[in-house]
Chain A
Amino acid sequence: AQTVTQSQPEMSVQEAETVTLSCTYDTSENNYYLFWYKQPPSRQMILVIRQEAYKQQNATENRFSVNFQKAAKSFSLKISDSQLGDTAMYFCAFMREQGAQKLVFGQGTRLTINP
């Protein structure tokens, strides 16, 4: 079974700083997908970024980028020029390529952006 681990329960940075959230996962699969979801206080689950394991190039979405290290099974999220609206829980998630599209989530990192 796949597992996802987020080792940083909480993080806090100042507005405009850059912050990196860590995620490691365990799988025997070769092809899969990785995701970062944002969950603000409203509890809505918002997709931030996704990465296909067969792609070597790291995914980017505006101020959000990932560092995907397949051999190390590491998938960190970098938020540049952090904004107050980035304050939220962030979840790393894994999805197998085969079969039903079931997400396996990490425990989450609570990120606070301070003014």
Chain B
Amino acid sequence: NAGVTQTPKFRILKIGQSMTLQCTQDMNHNYMYWYRQDPGMGLKLIYYSVGAGITDKGEVPNGYNVSRSTTEDFPLRLELAAPSQTSVYFCASSYRFSGNTIYFGEGSWLTVV
């Protein structure tokens, strides 16, 4: 079972560059999320989606964009990368029922230099 798959796993970006973190899930989950984890900290929600075509901001959305054109895919776009975006990024998904288990991808390590 693939679950939640993120690519790339590692990436080094230069300041001002842009990139897209890809996320796909094969569990037919309605909800998908992007979190970031800074060193020594817990995860913080960047954006989330409750279904195809519907996205909303989380706690730390600045500098990011998302889209949800299909149930399976939820890419995260970084525009004009800054050192403050150096972090580990986690994509996650879940069924829409309240309190359901959230399944996480393995994380994408991004360094902006």
Contact = CB atoms under 8 A, between A and B. Distances in A.
Interface of A: 4, 33, 42-45, 47, 50, 52, 91, 93, 95, 97-98, 100-108
Most central of B43, B45, B50 by chain A CB within 10 Å: B43
B98 interface: yes
14 contacts: A43-B37, A43-B88, A43-B106, A44-B107, A45-B90, A45-B92, A93-B42, A98-B98, A101-B94, A101-B96, A103-B35, A103-B102, A105-B42, A107-B41
Nearest to B88: A43
Interface string B65-99: 00000000000000000000000101010101011
A91 B42 contact: yes
Contacts of A108: 40-42
Contact of B42 (A52, A97, A101, A106): A106
B58 interface: yes
Given A97-B99, A102-B58, A44 B106 contact: yes
Contact of A102 (B45, B100, B104): B45
A106 B98 CA distance: 21
A42 B58 contact: no
A100 B31 contact: yes
